[in-house]
Each structure stands twice: as structure tokens, then as C-alpha cells.
Amino acid sequence: MIQLFDTNLNPYNTQLKRRFPDKCLRAPKNSPYMVKWLIMHTIDDTRKLAQLLLKDKKIDRDGFALIVYRLSESEKSKTNVKGSGNKSPGHRNGDGKAITFIAEQKVRMSGKKDKIITDEDILKSLSSQFKIPYKKLDPLDLDIDIVTRTIPKPYALKHMILPLYEKGGELFVAIIDPESQDTIDGLAHVTGKKIRPALATPDDIMRIVHEFFGFKTSVINAEKEMHGQEIDLGNLEQLNQIKRPDEIGSNDQHIKNAVEYLFNYAFKLRASDIHIEPKRETSIVRFRIDGSLNDVYTIPKGVYQAIASRIKMLARLNIAEKRRPQDGRIKIEHGDGTAEIRLSTMPTAFGEKLVLRVLKAEFLLRDMESLGFFPEDQIKMEKFLNCPHGIVLVTGPTGSGKTTTLYSALGFLSHPEKNIISIEDPIETICDSFNQVAVQPAIGLTFAASLRTILRQDPDIIMIGEIRDSETAENAIQAALTGHLVLSTLHTNDTTSTITRLLDLGVEPYQINSAVIGIVAQRLVKMICPDCIRTISIEKEKLAVFGVTTDKNSVEIKEGSGCEKCRFTGYFGRTSVYEVLEINSEIRTMIHKNKTSMEIRKYALKSGMTTLRDSAVRKMLNGVTTMAEVLRIGYEL
């Protein structure tokens, strides 16, 4: 016989005794009566939470009845399990099980047939009832040191509490139970700070606890093991002090864990690039998300070299070589599929800077409809691609989405009857539907040399990653003139200046007239977040700058107000804006007469060509992007 509230019986007995002080019973340790009593009282939290959602009109009576029924079924199954006296018998809001249980029932929200209530909806309802703000946790807004040094990981998981940041002598924390005053008081006593709670979902808290504590623990353990083994790279003179590969510790389990945390974190935040930058005392990790760089981690100086070596080893690079730039590739499997990472290293004043480009096939190989073409421009583009021979050029600065357009075009053209070969430096992502050649200048395999060989491989379609010199330009033109469809890129600002660039590379006007069938210029603009999109009014005088005329005093456009999904930026994802120039007979005549690019552009505009800026303005008026993005595009042009 034991006392019901013996702390050895159940981890929640202390809280039960506080809530039910009059229930001091004695019963056999595994007594069905005792187990049933515990269940009947601990499931009160779930039923109470369901009643609150019903009162708040988040669910209707049918949804409430469904939750209560499934709760009773859960109760029956637990009372029938032998030896369950030592296990958590019910669903408590304090550990998130009540919230999770209700969310798992997939109950429809009241008045919204297509909307299932989620843990976020439940927390927002609790927020309004208890006057505690709800916060969607964004890892980029959190300080890893504050999160990991304030409380230990077991305490954070047991009480489902997460320190967020300090401000004005106050500690802001995330909790899931608005009635967890004992936990808040205890934390205030330990830290000596006033606690400001906010509600967050159990999944968010557990995810950040595991990621932050996992990464921090790996880095700390690695730093301890490597203590006294660091190389001081505080100045350029010491860059040639290279450790042997077996001294770096890149095979250490803590380093492996830290790198895996880094990759998983990047995938979760939709990062397109990972920057690891060595500084004088520490190293900084930054992610590029939707075109903007964000600081993520600070790595101790002693651990940076091991992490860099581990990443270089995964990319099959020479980890002992730190004086010369290197390029490599890593293929990673993760929860959402596979991703290819392109690694570039470069020696800087304080060590090697690593940049990892995250590439996913589903982002590069897209349907033509999803790229951002307007219908009339998409018709022109598909007309270019359906030509049996000729050259199609895609232009724009670095990072403007040219590669995505080219890969999507190859996907559009891919067919068993076609022999498609690409020449790339480096290969962006491996695609089984066409043959890919990686340029290797060190052994003489340049774009021009590869192209000469490819012409003997019976190709139908050739993709050249970039036309960089006159020899490549000449060979590309010759390939187009000899019955092949050629796709390639150039770095120019717009479509008509591409003609001038080809002339500068030594291509004759008659060759341009005979080979080039179309030119596409493009830029990337950020898209408005669909979850926080709102309507604003803009005076017609401001729109006149973009060439928009109207009889109204103002025009309604869209912008993002900022929400949890977009990390309060107002943007989520990017799309392309295009300028498509078809080389028709009139333009060929103008090229033959050595007309300037401005004269050609004036004719193209009269013929109905949509400029990059006009395309961006049109997307703004359609509610896809914002005025700020249109201004940015206009500034670049």
C-alpha cells in the first residue's frame, strides 16, 4: 500500500495534490481504482480546454461532443492497460498534451467548413481568454545564448517553457499553459528578473529546444575537446599554418551533429544560401532567405575550423588546402526529400569563408506557368522554345533567377526523342532527363572546348550556362546556325543591351540576325505573404512615377502587414518579372543597319514589348508584390 500522492508513483502527483488537497487516499500501486481516479481528474484539463473553445466559438457543439467522446474512449483504453500506474494517465495542458490531443482530433472550426482547428488556433483562443499575448516563434529572432543558458534542457521540456530574450531587466518567455504561475514564479526566483510570458505552441517550443540546445551542446562539447588545439588566424601571415587532416577533428560526433543541425535549420527556414564567415574572435553563420541575409549563429573560434573541415569533407574537397578557393557539392537527404548543396570556399583575412548554395530540383525544374510570365510573354517564350534551331538568351544580374528559367525551359523541352546536353560551371543540380557536363578549366575543359565536343554528340538542344568570352559566343552562334536549339545566359541589364554585348564579344551583325530568335531579361521580386495581405490606398500622383494614369484620386494596392508565417517581413517567397524581346524582321533590319540599342528599344516598346519595370508594376497592381519592390527594380534599371 502506498499513498496516492507519493512522488514516486507519478511525476504529476505533486501538482495533483496541490489541485486536490482533500484527496489523500491509500491504494495499491497498480490499483485500477487509483488509475481511474487519476484519469478522471487529469482529463479535466482537456475537457476544460474544449469548453473554453466552445465558449470562444472556435468549435461548435458537434466538435465539442466529438472531443468528449474520443476523450472518454481514451480513458477506457488507459484504465484497461495493466501496470499503467507509473505512467502519465491523462492529457494535461501543462505539458501540452491537452492542446495536442484536441488538435489531433481534426475538429472543424465553427463556421469554417474547410478549416481544421490547429494548436495555433487553440493558443490564440487561450491568449484572448487569459490576456496573454500569443507569439509565433521565429528562430531568427531568438538569441541562442539566452535560450540555452537561462534554464537547462530537461527543465524546459518538463515545464514546456522557453526563454526568448531579455529587455529592460525583464525576461520574456514562451509557455503553453496560461495557468503555470508556479513555473513562472520559480523562474523569476532563479533569474531574479521579472517574467513576461507569451503563449506558443508545443511544437514550436519543443522544436526550438531540441535545435538550439542540440546545436549549442555540440558546439560546446567540440570546443572542450579541441581546447588548446586552435590555430590563431588573427592575421594574414598565419594563414599558411595548416594542420594535418587527422588533427582537425572533422570526424568528431559533436561536429557532425552541429553541421546536421545547421543544414536542417537552413532547410526549415527555406534558406537559399548559407554563409559561414570567419571573423577575428568568432565566426558568423548567416542565411539568405527571400533574397535577404540574416544572422543566425555565432560559432566559437576554436570550433569553426572543425566545422569548415567537416563541410569540406562532405563535399570531397581537400581539407588541408586553405590558401586557394575550392568548389564542391554535397547531396543530402532530409525529411522533405533530397537537396544538393553547392559549396564554394574562399580564403579571407581570418580564414576560409564558406558559402553553400542550397538547391532543390523542385525549385529549379518548374512549370512554365509558375515562373511568373504573363500570358502574352509566356506564349512568346514557348514560341522560342518550339523553334527547331536558333539561340535563346536569358539575361540579368547574378541572383536574378536565370538558372531556374533555363532549367524550367529544359524541362519543358525534355522528351525521349530529344538529345539535350548542358554545359555548366558548376552543375546546379543533377537531372536525369538530360546530359550535363561540368566545365573544368584546370584540365582545359572550358565552355568553348566542351561545345566543340558536344557538336559531335548528335545534340538536338544545347544549354550553355553562360557566354563569357568571344570564343564561346562564336561557337554558340555556329551551333545555332547548324541546326541546333541553343539556350544560354548573358549578364546584361535588359533585352536590347544584349545585342550590344554580343557585338562587343565579336559576333557579327549578320550572325546575330541569322541565329538569335529571342531574348528574355528578368529580375526577382518578393511576393506578398498570403496570410497577412492587406489593402492600402496610394495617391495617383505617386503612381504617376510608374507611368500609371487613372481618373481616381487613389488606387488600392496590396502589401503585407507582417505575421508569424513571414516572420513579420510582409513577404513570403519570390517570383520573376520578365521582359521578352522577339527578334523579328524589323529588328533584324535595324541590327543590320547598326542601329543603337536605344533605337531598337524604342521600336520594341512601340510594338508592345512589356519592360521589366512595367511587368513589376503590373504585378503590384495585381496584388503580387509591393511598391517598395517595384521601386527597387526601377532603381536597378
Chain-centroid distance of CA 261 in Å reads: 15
Which residue, among 1, 565, 584, 46, has the nearest Cα to 290 in the 3D structure? 565
Convert the pLDDT of each residue in 451-465 to its tens digit: 888 988 999 999 998
341 φ/ψ angles, rounded to the nearest 5 degrees: -115, 125
The share of the chain scoring above pLDDT 90, in percent, equals 30
- Of the listed ranges 146-155, 242-251, 349-358, 600-609, the one predicted with least confidence: 242-251
Q: Which three cell numbers stand for residue 631?
A: 521601386
Give pLDDT, residue 217.
66
Convert the pLDDT of each residue in 35-91 to its tens digit: 333 333 444 578 888 888 888 788 888 888 888 888 887 766 665 554 444 444 344
pLDDT at 502 over 90: yes
In CATH, what class is 226-359?
Answer: alpha beta
End-to-end Cα spacing for the chain = 83
Give pLDDT, residue 571.
92
- Residue 193, classed as helix, strand or coil, is coil
Per-residue confidence at 542, pLDDT binned at 50, 70, 90?
confident
Residues in contact with 55: Cβ distance below 8 Å, sequence separation at least 6, in sequence order: none
Report the distance separating Cα 610 and Cα 328, nearest Å: 39
Strand ranges (DSSP E) for 326-431?
326-334, 337-348, 351-359, 390-395, 420-424
* Mean pLDDT of all residues in 267-281: 90
Contact assessment for residue 625 and residue 616, using Cβ atoms and an 8 Å cutoff? yes
Residues in contact with 609: Cβ distance below 8 Å, sequence separation at least 6, in sequence order: 495, 579, 580, 581
* Mean pLDDT of all residues in 594-607: 93
Give pLDDT, residue 486.
95
- Respond yes or no on whether the N-terminal peptide bond of residue 426 is cis (omega within 30° of 0): yes
Residues in contact with 276: Cβ distance below 8 Å, sequence separation at least 6, in sequence order: 283, 284, 285, 299, 304, 307, 308, 311, 353, 354, 355, 356
Convert the pLDDT of each residue in 195-247 to its tens digit: 888 888 888 888 888 777 777 666 666 666 655 544 443 333 222 232 333 33
Convert the pLDDT of each residue in 151-180 to its tens digit: 888 888 888 888 888 888 888 888 888 877
In CATH, what class is 363-524+576-611?
Answer: alpha beta
Check residues 604 and 230 and name the one with the higher pLDDT: 604
pTM of the full structure: 0.66
- Residue 325, classed as helix, strand or coil, is coil
- Residues written for the chain: 637
Report the distance separating Cα 403 and Cα 422, nearest Å: 12
Give pLDDT, residue 254.
75
* Mean pLDDT of all residues in 493-511: 93
Contact assessment for residue 464 and residue 451, using Cβ atoms and an 8 Å cutoff? yes
Give pLDDT, residue 218.
67
Check residues 249 and 220 and name the one with the higher pLDDT: 220
The fold of the 132-207 domain, in CATH, is GMP Synthetase; Chain A, domain 3 (3.30.300)
- Of the listed ranges 402-411, 422-431, 617-626, the one predicted with least confidence: 422-431
- In Å, the largest CA–CA distance within the chain is 105
DSSP percent split of the chain into helix, strand, coil, nearest 5 = 45, 25, 35
Report the distance separating Cα 1 and Cα 31, nearest Å: 10
Chain-centroid distance of CA 202 in Å reads: 22
**Which residue bears the cell 598565419?**
238
Do 132-207 and 226-359 come out as alike in CATH topology? no
Q: Where are the domains of the chain?
A: 2-123, 132-207, 226-359, 363-524+576-611
Give pLDDT, residue 292.
87
Give pLDDT, residue 284.
92
Give pLDDT, residue 383.
95
Question: To the nearest whole number, what is the mean pLDDT of the chain?
Answer: 80
Which of 100-114, 339-353, 430-444 shows the highest mean pLDDT? 339-353
* Mean pLDDT of all residues in 327-338: 78
Q: Which three cell numbers stand for residue 72?
A: 472518454
